[in-house]
Amino acid sequence: MNLPPAAQPRQPLFLARELGILAFDRRVFAQAADKDMPLLERLRFLCIMSSNLDEFFEIRVAELKERIKFGEEVSGPDEPRAAEVFSLVSAEAHALVEDQYRLLNEDILPALAAEGIHFLLEADWTRDQRAWLHEYFVNEMIPVLTPIGLDPSHPFPRVLNKSLNFAVQLEGRDAFGRNSGIAIVQAPRLLPRVIRIPEQAHASGAGSGQSHFVLLTSVLQAFVSDLFEGMNILGSYPFRVTRNSDLWLDEEEIKDLRSALQGELPQRHFGASVRLEIAEECPREMQEFLLAQFELAANDLYRVNGPVNLVRLMQIPDLVDRPDLKFPPFVPGLPRPLDEQADVFGAIRKGDILLHHPFESFTPVLDFLEQAAEDPDVVAIKQTVYRTGTDSVLMKYLIDAAKRGKEVTVVVELLARFDEEANLAWAARLEEVGAHVVYGVVGYKTHAKMLLVVRREHGKLRRYVHLSTGNYHPRTAKLYTDFGLFTANEKICEDVAESFKQLTGLGRARTLNHLWMSPFSLHDQLMAAIRREAANAAEGKPARIIAKMNSLVERQLIEALYEASKAGVRIDLIVRGMCTLRPGIPGLSENIRVRSIIGRFLEHHRIYYFAADGQDDVYIASADWMERNMFRRIEACVPLLDKKLKARVIREGLKPYLADTTAWEMDSNGNFSRHRTRGKRRSAQDELLAMLAAGTAQPPHES
Catalytic residues: 447
| Residue-by-residue DSSP string for 31-51 | HHH-TTS-HHHHHHHHHHHHH
Handedness of CA 150, 154, 160, 164 (dihedral sign): negative
Query: DSSP string covering 369-396, please?
Result: HHHHHH-TTEEEEEEEES---TT-HHHH
- What count of other Cβ atoms lies within 10 Å of the Cβ of residue 158? 8
Per-residue HEC secondary structure of 570-614 comes to: EEEEEECCCECECCCCCCCCCCEEEEECCCCCEECCEEEEECHHH
Of 593, 590, 613, 591, the closest CA to residue 532 belongs to 613
Strand 570-575 vs strand 544-549: parallel, antiparallel, or unpaired? Answer: parallel
Give the residue among 590, 645, 582 at the shortest CA–CA distance from 619: 645
Q: What span, in angstroms and rounded, lies between the C-alpha atoms of 546 and 188?
A: 49
List, in sequence order, every beta strand (DSSP E) within 320-459.
Answer: 330-331, 353-357, 378-385, 407-412, 436-438, 445-446, 450-457
Tell me which DSSP letter residue 3 carries: P
Cα(662)–Cα(183) distance, rounded to whole angstroms?
A: 50
C-beta of residue 545 within 8 angstroms of C-beta of residue 530: yes
Question: Contact, 508 vs 392, CB < 8 A?
Answer: no
C-alpha 698: how far from its chain's center? Answer: 28
Contact 604, 622 (CB under 8 A): no
HSE on the CB side for 227, CA within 13 Å? 28
Determine the length of the chain: 703
**Helix 393-403, helix 420-432: angle, nearest 10:** 20
Q: CA torsion 249→428→633→500, rounded to 10°?
A: 140
Q: How far apart are CA 237 and CA 256, in angstroms?
A: 44
| Angle between helix 393-403 and helix 363-374 axes, rounded to 10 deg | 10
